Structure 1
Amino acid sequence: MSALPLAGVRVLDLSRVLAGPLCAQVLGDFGAEVIKVEHPKRGDDTRDWGLRVGKTETAYFNSMNRNKRSVTVDLATAEGQALVRELAKQCDVVVQNFKFGGAEKMGLGYEQIRAVKPDIVYCSVSGYDRHGPEATRPGYDLVIQGESGLMAINGEPTQQPLKFGVAAVDMFTGMYAAQAVLAALFDRQRTGQGRHIEMALFDSGLMISAYYGLEALLMEKDPPRYGNAHPSIVPYGVFDAKDGPLIIAVGNNAQFERFCIDVIERPDVAADERYKTNLVRGQNRDTLVPLLLAEIGARPRKLLLERLAAVGIPCGEVLGLYEALTSPRAVSAGLVTRQPHPVAGQMHVMAPPYRMDGERLPVRLPPPVLGEGTREVLRDLLGFDEQRLAQLEAQGVTKTT
């Protein structure tokens, strides 16, 4: 592959857990050199979450930290804070998600970094609007899924509000943040000026509500919950065939007619005025859905999938997560890689989801062992000699694993 688009860009990742690290990982995927600063003993919080890989990594940590180097610095010390300011001078982007005011207390806030690096692109990730009354509140994905109304649109109508299976607010915030950083870097090429990007988890959580959110505003009340069904399109969701679940997504009226005639062999349903258009199907779902459930449940899944595919109706199996990750589809696309690991021998690392010029972006660096790049980065970027490196380690400011 030719040079990656962000080759030559250097990112200082001062963030931890999910949203900030995902932002930095995206930049690393596109070729940026990402330096992840971590506490010498604990590292990123997620190094202690979930299933262990080796001595200092977990599956959770590995999911958000490929294509990075790990540098350990104790930011509670004046020496560590000064060291990170020196690193920031050598970087184009800083990403941080300290509690409100925390970066400033350490001399690492936007204005303080801009004073030593005027064209810095600086991204602050927080829980809530940094200019509002809740600026000091810490942000947690689960709390914000509740406060943003996202839990209220998930699950069946008979269930309690339900969270997403993954930390969706954190992940969307990380992706939005990466988009903003890319825009700021593009603008810097034209103006020579840096930017301060401010991302709030609550803001991103509200944006995820998308069409549900706009419908709630139109109705001036919460929209109904439909579980695996679609709020506007019928039939569109997960259905139980005779021998297992499948997904059927009938997207328009022509598809519905083919579905009735060619798949479930019920032309009378296609001709019924109550079901002629998607709008009236939605209004009459209470009578239509039970009818469809009975017809689908009487047929084997393989037959249904064959018939659906033959008439061009979107459909698919409902797979378990492990089954999906190891499926021929995922394997042929190269979406899961095996990377070398000094303790475990090998570990699974997801590949970046992007292709450029026909090639998938590479995993250039596996998720790092805690502190693996400390000596090399400080030597190469700051010119520290062995004596200085040994002194910092003896003082507990840094640590090499």
Structure 2
Amino acid sequence: MDQPLPLDDLRVVELGQLLAGPFCGQLLGDFGAEVIKVEDPGKGDPMRQWGREKPYGTSLWWPVVARNKLSVTADLRTEAGQDLVRRIIAEADVLIENFRPGTLERWGMAPETLWETNPGLVITRVTGFGQTGPYASRAGYGSIGEAMGGIRYVTGDPDRAPARAGISLGDSLAAVFACLGTLVALHQRGRTGRGQVVDSAIYEAVLAMMESLVPEWQVAGYQRERTGTTLPNVSPSNVYPTSDGEMVLIAANQDTVFKRLVAAMEQPELAEDERYATHSARGQWMEQLDGVIAQWSSTIAADDLLERLHAQGVPAGRIFRAKDMFEDAHFAAREAIVRLAHPDLGEFAMHNVAPKLSESPGRVRHVGPELGEHNDHIYRGLLGLDDDMLSSLRSAGVI
């Protein structure tokens, strides 16, 4: 626990709220960056109230996305609040924000202005559509980015409207790319001494995950459609029933792996059947092959089925729910879930840091902080404000 963290020499100021910007801050904080989250002194980040389940009126999302961060308050609608934040930014390596383009500029925090006092500052800006272009000024929620980036159209069953993943996928992808861009910009700063703007757009982050969708249309005039639980011409790779009501995903579309699957099924002749002998043939006869596998899998309990498949080297696994993750030996062995102390809820479990580094791993040090918990630490320790100044700022509602 005393091992130095790889980014513990970085100071990050996070001005964003909700998810895309703050998730980028979380990722940097996981590896040791000092992340100073600036919140409105009245209510703070709306994420403090968000989440499907709120036992005792407490958000279960906030402790995760704000983990490892320091919370300070400043009213950015006031000149005094803007001045305080500019002074903090002057001592930072990275600024993260996810407001509409132009907001920082209205607050007197245009990149050119900030670089006058801090030329090495990396300014990471996460928005729906980016800082330029005809859509830049539009409100850009993650769901809109998912729609325009292409992933919504290809998600779901073909006879129904496009579906969505049960998580905030677009926001999270934009945050991951923002974090990547931030680290690249910091690396470049090591060469030049200069910061730059990292422009992460939600729709572009989604588009970046769309494989060969663009050239498929441009070269072949082929439009991917919704295909439910399968990918076209990739078979077998589907979810199959078991005798005890579980669902197991089996992925055996490669020729060599398919031979292992039919060996586990004790039906080796299927690998010689012209309908299933090659990857292309199995893709054409996908529906029939899925029926054969489902008929077999439905006669075996999930544990026994997985044991047979794994013994043959066939990739397979249950469809996990949260409770399954807590009970799984592999999750436990790799400490995929970490437990911390929460001031209201006691022991609090969340996903651990990813990826794992062999020499300089990240660490979850604490859950998301109380609103303004670190005001004195930052305003006294970093900016050197005295008691009278702090009292005046509090009385005016600035912090």
Category of TM-score, reference length = shorter chain: over 0.9
Q: In structure 2, do the counterparts of structure 1 residues 339 and 305 end up closer, same or farther at CA, with 3 Å as the change threshold?
A: closer
Specify the alignment match of 1:168 in structure 2. Answer: 169
Shift of 1:358: 5.9
- Quick check: 2:338–2:352 contact (8 Å CA) kept in 1? yes
Equivalent of 1:253 in 252, 255, 258: 255
CA contact (8 A) 1:225 1:231 kept: no
Gap change, CA 1:232 and 1:214, over 3 Å in 2: farther
Residue 6 of structure 1 and its aligned partner are, at CA, apart by 1.2
Q: Deviations over 1:60-93 (max 9, x none)?
A: 2222111110001111111000000000111010
CA distance in 2, matches of 1:343, 1:259: 49
Matches within 5 A, 1:85-124: 85-124=86-125
Q: Deviations over 1:195-235 (max 9, x none)?
A: 11111111111112224454344442422333222334210
For the 8 Å contact 1:233–1:250, the answer to whether it is kept is no
Distance 1:344 1:317, change over 3 A: closer
Structure 1: gaps of 5 or more residues:
none
Identity across the alignment (%): 33
Q: Could you tell me whether the CA contact under 8 Å between 2:19 and 2:171 is conserved in 1? A: yes
Letter in 2 for 1:179: L
**In structure 1, what is the Cα distance between the partners aligned to 2:112 and 2:151?**
35
**Does the Cα contact within 8 Å between 1:263 and 1:304 map onto a contact in 2?**
no
1:291 and 2:292 matched: yes
Aligned to 2:283: 282
Q: CA RMSD in A?
A: 1.9
Helix, strand or coil for the counterpart of 1:175? helix
1:196 matches 2:197: yes
The yes-or-no answer on 1:27 pairing with 2:28 is: yes
Q: Which residue in the other structure is 1:329 paired with? A: 330
Distance 2:258 2:350 in 1: 41
Aligned residue pairs, count: 396
Counterpart in 1 of 2:152?
A: 151
Going from structure 1 to structure 2, the CA distance change for 1:149 and 1:354 (only over 3 Å counts) comes to: closer
Where 2:61 maps in the other structure, the secondary structure is helix
- Give, as a single letter, the amino acid of the residue that structure 2 aligns with 1:356: L
Which residue identity does 1:195 align to in structure 2?
Q
Contact 2:64 2:367 (8 Å CA) reproduced: no
SS at match of 1:37: strand
Task: After superposing the two structures, state which structure 1 stretch, 317-326 or 10-19, moved more.
Answer: 317-326
1:353 correspondence with 2:354: yes
Alpha carbons 1:337, 1:350 under 8 Å: kept: yes
Equivalence map 1:220-259=2 (5 Å)? 220-243=221-244, 244-259=246-261
Instruction: Name the residue aligned to 1:39.
Output: 40
Please report how far the alpha carbon of residue 331 of structure 1 lies from its aligned counterpart in structure 2 after TM superposition.
2.8
Q: Which runs of 5+ in 2 are unaligned?
A: none
Contact 2:306 2:317 in 1 (8 A): yes
| Post-superposition offset of 1:270 | 1.5
Partner Cα separation in structure 2 for residue 239 and residue 185 of structure 1: 46
Give the SS at the match of 1:272.
coil
Aligned-residue offset at 1:53: 6.4
Q: Which runs of 4+ in 1 moved over 4 A?
A: none
Q: Per-residue displacement from partner, 1:341-360 (whole Å, max 9, x unpaired)? A: 33334433432123222675
The residue that corresponds to 1:395 in the other structure is: 396
Letter matched to residue 295 of structure 2: A
Match of 2:315 in 1: 314
Comparing 308-317 and 279-288, the one that deviates more: 279-288
| Matched position secondary structure for 1:34 | strand
TM-score after normalising by structure 1: 0.93
1:378 paired residue number = 379
